Amino acid sequence: MLSVLKKELKTYFLTPIGYVFIGLFLETSSLIFYLYTYVSGSLNFSYIFYDSAVILTFIVAILTMNMFAGERKNGTDQLLMTSPKSTTGIVLGKFFAAIIVVLITEIFSFMYLAIISHFGAPDISTLGTTLLGFVLLTMAYISFGELASSITGQPIIAYIITFVFFFATMYIKNLSSIFSMISFIDLYQKFINGMIPIEETVQLITFTITCVILTIIVLKRRKNIK
């Protein structure tokens, strides 16, 4: 798993993918920070993280679309299928590499906290739960993006599947309350209010594990067919 993780991190930072993701994320986060802090006068850093999560909904597919679809498109999936590494290790290696890129991006966003601290005392009492929720949300997003990338040989299709799914989850709860369990932004809302909600935590973790397992199954079936 570690070798796959290192390879994926090199791929992210030796190609434009990682930089495009980080650039888009920080550019839109900076706009949000400006509107919250300078226009509205808010010192609540947690709500900046909330809107950062909304941004993640739209751009996380940039990180995940090439995970397996790119391998198939370039023909390098043959090496993946015949690799002595376990399928589980490959899936988890790619999964954690993408998470690390998002977390690195979020570390950069702490410059906003430093600026807020310079002008006043920010509300950091809920920062811990906000960060925990953001990590769980990131894991859920990346796990589905990885699954989408495993079922197609075209990165752009993987991107569209991931984007449409997460966009839909923002509004699908309006159709029926049964869909509230995949309304990820709503699940994240309680974390920024200073709570560690058990139900929402379980839902995010369960969704993540389910997507990872399904990705492993898809790849194993393809490997057995070949």
First to last CA, the chain: 22
In this predicted structure, the answer to whether residue 148 has a pLDDT above a threshold of 90 is: yes
Whether 226 shows a pLDDT value over 60: the answer reads: no
Check residue 53 and give its pLDDT: 83
Per residue in 184-195, pLDDT (tens digit) is 888 888 888 778
| Residue 29: φ, ψ to 5° | -65, -35
Question: In Å, how far are 3, 17, 73, 210, 211 from 10, measured between CA atoms?
Answer: 11, 11, 19, 27, 24
Segment 21-43 shows an average pLDDT of 79
Do residues 206 and 137 lie in contact, with contact meaning Cβ atoms separated by under 8 Å? no
Of 115, 157, 180, 33, the residue nearest 189 (C-alpha): 180
Between 99-108, 178-187, 217-226, the lowest mean confidence (pLDDT) is in 178-187
Closest CA to 25 of 17, 37, 35: 17
CA quadruple 115, 117, 123, 128: dihedral sign = positive
Is it the case that residue 201 has pLDDT exceeding 80? yes
Q: Tell me, what's the pLDDT at 78? A: 66
pLDDT computed for residue 225 by the predictor: 62
pLDDT of residue 121: 66
Mean pLDDT (the chain, rounded): 83
**Beta carbons of 179 and 173 less than 8 angstroms apart:** yes
Q: In this predicted model, what pLDDT tens digit does every residue of 92-142 receive, in sequence order? A: 999 999 999 998 888 888 787 777 777 666 666 677 888 888 899 999 999
Question: Going by C-beta distance under 8 Å and a sequence separation of 6 or more, which residues neighbour residue 176?
Answer: none
